[in-house]
Structure 1
Amino acid sequence: MKAKSGDFVLPGDALGVTEEFLPSEWTYEEEGKIRSLVAGTVYIDQKNKKISIIPKTKSPAILSRGAVILGQIKDVRGQRAMVEIEGIKDTNRSLPISCVGGIHISQAQKGYVDKLTDDFRIGDLIEAKVTKVLGIDNADLTTAEEELGVLKAMCTKCRYFMNKIGKNQVKCPNCGNKETRKLSSKYEG
């Protein structure tokens, strides 16, 4: 299908191919095809060779470069921490689909990081910034800024939320276990 300006489309509808156009607002690229991210009207900018969508409803929350997300660490392996993205900060609209993000060890904090498990553990609640959107439901994230990082750390021994005791140190009020994290300057606890 090749869409024309003025066509009404639904999320996931094919609009064109990347050989002819660039994806723009409310669109994404998947395997060389440009698809609609939302229900709305197609707008084709012939001069700049871009396809965008004019949403039919209030703009849904979507991942975009520079957006600050709230999420939970689901896995930490080697040089990457996987995050289940719960929502976008300062929006009252939920994400239309479940999204995941990844924090590479080089994006955890400024300076050298020896082990990513010193910064994040499964269950931690975090705030991170989107550095790159990869498709409709995946993003690269960073916590290298001071206000980004772990908002609530979960004890690896007893699963209680931990209290902050130092710049990047937390202590469990239940079992006394001490651990390190890349804490946000807004850490709660």
Structure 2
Amino acid sequence: MTRRQRAAERLWFGSGEVARRLAGRTADWVRKGPTRTHRVVRILLVLLGLYVAARIVRAAPTLMWAITAVWCWCVARASRPTEEIAEGAAPEVEPDAAPGPDAVRTLLVGLIGDRPGVHLSTVLAHLQKQGHGQGWSMADLRARLEAAGVPVRRSVKVARRVAYGVHRDDLTAPSPQPAEETAA
């Protein structure tokens, strides 16, 4: 792979990463509005900001050079190392290095917080944000959770939405006593 091709690959992957981060942060900010009215106002503020930015760029097109330079700098910081791109491989993650059931439960309890449960889509998004579970589908995550001994329910209601997820009661259930202790 030539030097120009590597630079193009870095620009491509870095741009995707920066766009995902920017979209994720914006969506999180909108979602964290305390009421529906606040969330609508935040959406309108985002749209107004985009409109004003477009108007400024139309009024002063040379400003795009500065915006492009800032974008490329952010992309360079977010892109994968050149060696990794040159090899065409994702970062190495050992498939056998699966976390133990306690680590999985700790992660799920943290994601549940004070809600009644957590949807699998939220768990998968969190894992992928942390660099794990790339390429997993919801069925893959569900199978891995069930293999780790975490029961997955078909209908967990969180934030007025019902989907596959893990319910708080399933995580805090006491572990069964060994047969020797119950016979005594």
Give TM class, smaller chain: under 0.3
| TM-score normalised according to structure 1 size | 0.24
Structure with higher RCO (Cα < 8 A, 6+ apart):
2
In terms of fraction of residues, the more strand-rich structure is 1
